């Protein structure tokens, strides 16, 4: 069985377990962890995660943030200045991170999202070098009604997540879902 097939199987087992309703927001986050080299394969098969979610009796909402930064930048009144002098972009990244958090927050609190909805966040790897995934999760955790599934290209080891296997990791209170049974 390939990496993504094993991940779908692990997710299917996990999503079918009855959900506790008395968890804090940070505990409602599930990190679907996979090697960055599997990104395209995962994207091709993300519909299977939706299928497993619906089979388990839950709703599904996919939020792909891959293009959020280029869209944010193209709408920014200072974009030409940033292209001419890229070092000016650094201070603006806080505004980008705040705008992204607000975007995800709107998805989490939309009228069609209930306590039985999985909001799946795809494209987290596109944040590398711009903002931290941990910052985003901290900003939105209070708004999670059902579960937030974060497709996380990186690694998980001893309660530590590392985005793209490169940056020092963060110790989220999220639950890891990996292709292997035991977490190292």
**Higher-confidence position of 76 and 60:** 60
Q: Kindly report each contact of residues 49-53 with a partner whose C-beta sits within 8 Å and lies 24 or more positions away, as own/partner.
A: 49/8, 49/11, 49/120, 49/149, 50/120, 52/8, 52/11, 52/12, 52/15, 52/16, 53/15, 53/118
Tell me the chain's radius of gyration from C-alpha atoms.
Answer: 17
Of 39, 17, 48, 47, give the one whose Cα is nearest residue 30: 17
What is the chain's length?
A: 184
pLDDT in the model for residue 184: 39
| Residue 95, Cβ density class (10 Å: 0-12 exposed, 13-18 middle, ≥19 buried) | exposed
Residues 6+ apart with CB under 8 A from 6: 179, 180
| Rounded Cα distance, 90 and 75, in Å | 17
Q: What is the pLDDT of residue 171?
A: 58
Between CA 140 and CA 142 the distance in angstroms is 6
Q: What does the pLDDT read at residue 156?
A: 87
Question: pLDDT digits over 115-173, tens only?
Answer: 999 999 999 999 998 998 989 999 999 999 999 999 999 988 777 788 887 765 665 77
Residue 170: predicted pLDDT: 67
Instruction: For each of the domains in the chain, give its residue range(s) and CATH number, in order of start.
Output: 3-17+25-177 (3.40.50)
pLDDT band (50, 70, 90) for residue 83:
confident
Tell me the pLDDT tens digit for each residue of 2-53.
899 999 999 999 999 999 989 999 999 999 999 999 999 999 999 999 999 9
SS (H, E, C) 129-170: CCCCHHHHHHHHHHHCCCEEEEEEEEEEECCEEEECCCCCCE
pLDDT for the residue numbered 162: 81
Could you tell me the pLDDT band of residue 180, with boundaries at 50, 70 and 90? confident
CA 24/CA 60 separation, integer angstroms? 20
- Residue 88 above 90 pLDDT? no
């Amino acid at each position: 069985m390939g990496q993504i097939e094993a991940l779908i199987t692990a997710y299917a087992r996990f999503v079918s377990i009855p959900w506790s309703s008395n968890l804090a927001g940070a505990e409602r986050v599930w990190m679907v962890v996979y090697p960055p080299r599997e990104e395209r394969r995962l994207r091709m098969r993300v519909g299977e995660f939706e299928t497993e979610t619906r089979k388990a009796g839950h709703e599904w909402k996919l939020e792909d943030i891959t293009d959020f930064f280029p869209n944010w930048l193209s709408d920014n009144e200072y974009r030409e200045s940033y292209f001419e002098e890229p070092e000016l972009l650094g201070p603006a990244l806080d505004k980008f991170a705040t705008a992204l958090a607000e975007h995800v927050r709107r998805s989490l609190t939309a009228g069609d999202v209930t306590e039985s909805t999985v909001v799946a966040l795809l494209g987290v790897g596109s944040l590398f070098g711009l903002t931290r995934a941990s910052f985003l999760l901290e900003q939105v955790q209070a708004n999670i009604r059902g579960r937030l599934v974060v497709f996380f290209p990186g690694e998980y080891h001893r309660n530590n997540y590392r985005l793209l296997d490169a940056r020092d990791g963060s110790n989220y209170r999220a639950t890891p879902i990996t292709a292997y049974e035991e977490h190292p």
